[in-house]
């Protein structure tokens, strides 16, 4: 079977390859086997290829697929998306209902578990969410990153009177901006690409190229640039006692003057995986434009080209069809 595999060479360097003879995965008890229909490439995948998370195995965590092996016959043939974290379920962190932070967790295509850039992969049945019929594959494949955008509202109370700045017009920034716009807040999105910002402008979301004229007056700044420099700009735009939300998993180290955070009493919030049920609800209600974010679609056999394309500067979502 075909799979995109990240190997670690004896020299310590990483090599991404198209495996042609990948073994047919067999689900352990409690898990199902899923045939990937469509996978999305995200910046985390590109960071992993650069060494983030020290992962080896099949890459990929954004998917929509069809269950083809399951203990529960009701699941067979169902079109599903799936939460990517697989917690142990028994440790103190899991018992305290923080399963996405289980120290013994695996994560699809990120940590100790083969991912979705393959014909088949396995995931626990409890991680699955059925995709409503009205949501096509090209929309459903955005459930995972949209859930990550929704996580901000799980963590931070964004008031309709708040001034909010989203930094970055990449894949995640465009989703985050659309989710935050639903709060009615006074939102501005800063980016570098007029064509991408136009996707938001079509929905009436104010955008700006560059940061000219912006004062340190935002109640909330969400950093989605995926670049180390983003943190410093975010810090400069937030008001004293404001909130800085970090969404990028950037491999580079951030250089910044942390004493500014102390003097201005800034709250810093890291934000990762979010609620799938809410993301699916937003998608089925048509509240988020995701199809404008699709830049290209490749066959699984061409997935190395897809990853190269996704890594080009300014690339939006690249999909891989199995």
Residue 138 Cα distances to 131, 133, 144, 145, 296, angstroms = 12, 13, 13, 13, 11
Q: How far is the CB of 95 from Zn ion (least distance, A)?
A: 8
Residues 53, 91, 214, 228: which binds Zn ion (CB under 5 A)? 91
Q: How far is the CB of 265 from Zn ion (least distance, A)?
A: 32
Residues 94, 139, 158, 222: which binds Zn ion (CB under 5 A)? 94
Q: How far is the CB of 204 from Zn ion (least distance, A)?
A: 27
Q: Does 102 bind Zn ion (CB under 5 A)?
A: yes
Q: Does 175 bind Zn ion (CB under 5 A)?
A: no
Q: Does 172 bind Zn ion (CB under 5 A)?
A: no
Q: Which stretch binds Zn ion (CB under 5 A): 87-95, 135-143, 179-187, 202-210?
A: 87-95
User: For residues 35-74, which are near Zn ion according to CB under 5 A?
Assistant: 42, 44
The residue (of 214 and 315) whose beta carbon lies closer to Zn ion is 315
Residues 87, 168, 170, 173: which binds Zn ion (CB under 5 A)? 87
Q: Which stretch binds Zn ion (CB under 5 A): 79-87, 130-138, 170-178, 227-235?
A: 79-87
CA atoms within 13 A on the CB side of 82: 36
Residue from 194, 182, 178, 69 nearest 122 by CA: 69
Number of DSSP helices (H) and strands (E) in the chain, helices first: 10, 18
Residue from 35, 46, 45 nearest 1 by CA: 35
Kind of pairing, strands 79-82 and 294-299?
Answer: unpaired
Q: CB–CB of 108/115 below 8 Å? A: yes
Task: Say which DSSP state 133 is in.
Answer: T
List contacts with Zn ion (CB under 5 A). Answer: 42, 44, 87-88, 91, 94, 102
């Amino acid at each position: 079977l075909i799979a995109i595999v990240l190997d670690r060479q004896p020299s310590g360097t990483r090599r991404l390859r198209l495996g042609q003879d990948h073994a047919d995965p067999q689900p352990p008890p409690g898990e199902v086997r899923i045939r990937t229909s469509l996978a999305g490439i995200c910046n985390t995948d590109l960071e992993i290829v650069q060494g983030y998370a020290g992962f080896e195995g099949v890459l990929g965590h954004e998917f929509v697929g069809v269950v083809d092996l399951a203990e529960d016959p009701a699941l067979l043939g169902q079109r599903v998306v799936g939460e990517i974290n697989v917690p142990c379920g028994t440790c103190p962190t899991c018992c305290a209902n923080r399963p996405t932070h289980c120290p013994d967790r695996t994560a699809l295509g990120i940590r100790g578990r083969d991912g979705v850039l393959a014909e088949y992969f396995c995931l626990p049945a409890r991680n699955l969410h059925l995709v409503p019929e009205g949501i096509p594959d090209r929309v459903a494949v955005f459930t995972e990153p949209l859930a990550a955008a929704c996580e901000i509202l799980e963590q931070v109370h964004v008031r309709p009177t708040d001034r909010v700045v989203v930094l970055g017009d990449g894949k995640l920034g465009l989703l985050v901006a659309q989710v935050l716009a639903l709060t009615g807040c006074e939102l501005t999105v800063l980016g570098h690409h007029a064509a991408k910002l136009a996707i938001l402008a079509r929905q009436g979301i104010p955008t700006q190229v560059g940061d000219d004229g912006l004062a340190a007056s935002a109640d909330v700044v969400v950093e989605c640039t995926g670049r180390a420099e983003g943190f410093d700009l975010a810090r400069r735009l937030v008001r004293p006692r404001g909130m800085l939300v970090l969404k990028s998993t950037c491999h580079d180290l951030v250089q910044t003057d942390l004493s500014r955070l102390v003097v201005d009493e800034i709250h810093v919030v890291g934000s990762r995986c979010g609620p799938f049920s809410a993301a699916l609800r937003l998608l089925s209600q048509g509240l988020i434009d995701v199809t404008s974010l699709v830049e290209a679609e490749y066959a699984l056999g061409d997935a190395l080209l897809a990853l190269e394309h996704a890594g080009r500067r300014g690339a939006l979502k690249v999909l891989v069809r199995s």
